[in-house]
């Protein structure tokens, strides 16, 4: 009996191993077609987005994690997309954040100086809280560069009826800015 249970225990460990490795949300997980539609809506362009995966070392992660507001831990890598637009290079960072009971995806748009251009919600599955995709909420992020400028209910006002999602996306953007602050935007593309 003990042997069988010991095997179950070992099998449980093997079943868990893919879960333990945390990864950043890849563009393909968010949906390439959704990203293309977002690029057209936000930047007005159809240019190809060049993606770079930046590894985040254990030392860097450990130093940044105490500053996080939404995530408890950092991913092993960060995906940053770069696209040419009439106004110059623009950077796209895809991510996911929780709504009331589900998860929604969004893209953080930055300019070359690291200032936020927009925060576009790509896919919001829940029936309540989708007010975070309204321009009146999104425009609060524009021009902000520093994580400390992204504070829920202070610099970023709540939108009535969407408290949980508004707080969630605000802190998710805060955490992404911490990462950008640490690793920068300009990286050589890797195939």
Partner 1 sequence: MNSFKYFLLSLSLSLLAVPALAQEQRATLGGYGELHYNDVTNNDDGENPAGQLDFHRFVLFVGYAFNDWVTFHSEIEVEHTLIEAGEEDGGEVALEQAYVDLKYYPTFGVRAGLLLIPVGIINPVHEPPTFNGVERPNVEKVLIPSTWRESGLGIYGRLADRLNYEAYVMAGLSADGFSGKNGIRGARQSGYRSSTDNLAFTGRLSFQVDLNLSIAASFYSSSLSSNKTVVDADLSGVRFNLLEANIRYQKNGLEARGLVVYSTVSEVEKLNAVFDNAAGASQFGGYVELGYDVLGLINPETEMQLTVFGRYEAYDTQATTTGFSANDAYARQETTLGLTHRPTPQVAIKADYQWLYTRESHNFRQFNLGVGYNF
Residue ranges in contact with partner 1 by CB under 8 A: 1-2, 5-6, 8-9, 11-13, 15-16, 19, 31, 34, 100-103, 123, 125-128, 131, 134-137, 140, 152-154, 157-161, 163-164, 167
Q: Which residues contact 5 (CB under 8 A, 6 or more apart)?
A: none
| Secondary element (H or E) of residue 60 | helix 58-64
Q: Which is nearer to partner 1, 13 or 190 (CB)?
A: 13
CB of 133 to partner 1, least distance (A): 9
Q: Which is nearer to partner 1, 23 or 63 (CB)?
A: 23
Q: Which residues contact 116 (CB under 8 A, 6 or more apart)?
A: 108, 109, 110, 141, 142, 143, 144, 145, 173, 177
Spatial separation of the C-alpha atoms in residues 125 and 103, rounded to whole Å: 7
β-strand partners of 82: 50, 91
Q: Which is nearer to partner 1, 128 or 186 (CB)?
A: 128
Q: Which is nearer to partner 1, 134 or 186 (CB)?
A: 134
CB of 62 to partner 1, least distance (A): 23
CB of 147 to partner 1, least distance (A): 15
**Per-residue CA distances from 116 to 4, 22, 63, 140, 147 (Å):** 55, 26, 24, 10, 11
Q: Which is nearer to partner 1, 106 or 137 (CB)?
A: 137
Rama region for 88: left / alpha / beta (φ>0; ψ in -120 to 50; rest): left
CB of 151 to partner 1, least distance (A): 8
Output the furthest CA–CA distance in the chain (Å, rounded). Answer: 69
CB of 29 to partner 1, least distance (A): 11
CB of 186 to partner 1, least distance (A): 32
Sort 191 into a burial class: Cβ within 10 Å, 0-12 / 13-18 / 19+: exposed
Q: Which is nearer to partner 1, 63 or 157 (CB)?
A: 157
């Amino acid at each position: 009996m003990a042997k069988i249970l010991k095997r179950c225990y070992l099998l449980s460990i093997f079943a868990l191993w893919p879960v333990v490795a945390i990864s950043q949300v890849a563009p393909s997980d968010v949906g390439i077609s959704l990203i293309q539609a977002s690029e057209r809506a936000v930047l007005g362009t159809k240019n190809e987005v060049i993606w770079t995966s930046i590894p985040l070392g254990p030392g860097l992660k450990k130093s940044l994690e105490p500053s996080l507001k939404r995530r408890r831990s950092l991913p092993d890598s960060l995906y940053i997309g770069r696209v040419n637009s009439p106004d110059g290079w623009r950077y796209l960072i895809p991510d996911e954040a929780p709504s009331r009971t589900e998860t929604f995806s969004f893209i953080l748009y930055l300019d070359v100086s690291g200032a936020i251009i927009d925060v576009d919600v790509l896919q919001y599955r829940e029936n309540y809280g989708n007010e975070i995709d309204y321009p009146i909420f999104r425009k609060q992020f524009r021009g902000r560069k520093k994580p400390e400028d992204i504070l829920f209910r202070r610099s970023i006002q709540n939108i009535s009826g969407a408290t949980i999602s508004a707080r969630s996306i605000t802190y998710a953007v805060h955490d992404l800015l911490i990462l950008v602050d640490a690793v920068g935007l300009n990286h050589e593309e890797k195939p």
